[in-house]
Structure 1
């Protein structure tokens, strides 16, 4: 996705064939089920299906060209340990039109990515800490569900599942959910994170922003950075 994307510039005229736009966007949404590297851009494209502009169609065509050039890529299932680990990230106030943040998280079973999400948050976050905290909350819900599913499949997780975040303030809030003037506006239901930490289901750890795998699910990135994180998702050619 272009780094110079801006909704207020370029050709913002309505696209002449919105039905075609919606048809291709729907197909890309299906493809993103097996291609997490296109999840963020596909989510952005689908947000504009109601009244797509020429700019939006240019973004869609750019994604189609990328897909055409990477048809050999997929998610291989590698042998190894069956321990869960997760990454959660957020891009604060990413959308200039409504200032909502973008949540991105992904979970791995061993070296194989098994679930991921790139989604705009439903409310406006007043700080980057709040945006990251909401992202941790979404990832926590996914991790708890996966732990229970794996337990039913007789793959019981040994010890807490590590969840990696690059925001130290959000980690501190998750481990010590004390209400004060700067955090009391965060909904109470997000504080269920601390309960799972105390129960030993989850362990939130800090990771540097450079190594944050979920970054690819929250924003458009430079080419080198995108390829680096795509490799960390373990997306590669089936012949490799």
Structure 2
């Protein structure tokens, strides 16, 4: 491999390069700052990260033996996405640890908060239990939300027009 100078433009993304004894590091900080400035978001501080979890009973797998199990797996999958966003935002200097995850199933919340395994968790695969560790480390909060106010229903259930309009208004989308 040969070096032809400092890398300033790569795949149409303006980059910054830093060379060290342990390698070459490329940053997109300037690109992100330019995009934020272009759309007038340069001075906006991001709000807290919140997530809503709900299970899709129709698409639930047969290995889950209960509604609580399905809700727990859905919450763990939701946290997987939250974890990815938390890590991405850390790269840009924003700390979104202790994210609120809203769950409409009280038993699921109890399972997340109670680190002791019991009969409701024996059918759940081990890989889903990382949500408990994250709760214990205070990377997330699990909060009860009434099922009527859970905006995750937009992606998991069918409902009438009035419910759809209520949920759309709840997440701040405008009807154009």
Give the TM-score normalised by the residue count of structure 2: 0.69
Unaligned runs of 5+ in 2: 1-39
**For residue 127 of structure 1, what is the aligned residue in structure 2?**
66
Residue in structure 1 matched with residue 48 of structure 2 by the alignment:
83
Query: What's the C-alpha RMSD, in Å, of the aligned pairs?
Result: 2.1
Question: Which residue does 1:141 correspond to in 2?
Answer: 80
The answer (yes or no) to whether the contact 1:177–1:191 under 8 Å persists in 2 is no
Q: How far apart, CA to CA, are the structure 2 residues paired with 1:177 and 1:128?
A: 19
Q: Among 170, 179, 187, which residue is 2:125 paired with?
A: 187
Structure 2 counterpart of 1:150: 89
Which of 136, 141, 146 lines up with 1:198 in the alignment? 136
State how far apart, in whole Å, the 2-side matches of 1:167 and 1:224 are.
Answer: 23
Report the Cα distance in structure 1 between the residues aligned to 2:68 and 2:142, rounded to whole angstroms: 14
Q: Which moved more, 1:214-223 or 1:227-236?
A: 227-236
The alpha carbon displacement at 1:202 in A equals: 0.5
TM-score normalised to the size of structure 1? 0.52
Aligned to 2:21: none
- For structure 1, the 5+ residue unaligned runs are 1-76, 95-99, 102-121
CA distance in structure 2 between the aligned counterparts of 1:186 and 1:156, rounded to whole angstroms: 31
Contact 2:65 2:123 in 1 (8 A): no
Query: In structure 2, what is the Cα distance between the partners aligned to 1:124 and 1:222?
Result: 31
Distance 1:233 1:123, change over 3 A: farther
Q: Distance in 1 between matches of 2:70 and 2:117?
A: 17
Structure of greater Rg: 2
Q: Is the 8 A contact 2:54 2:103 kept in 1?
A: yes
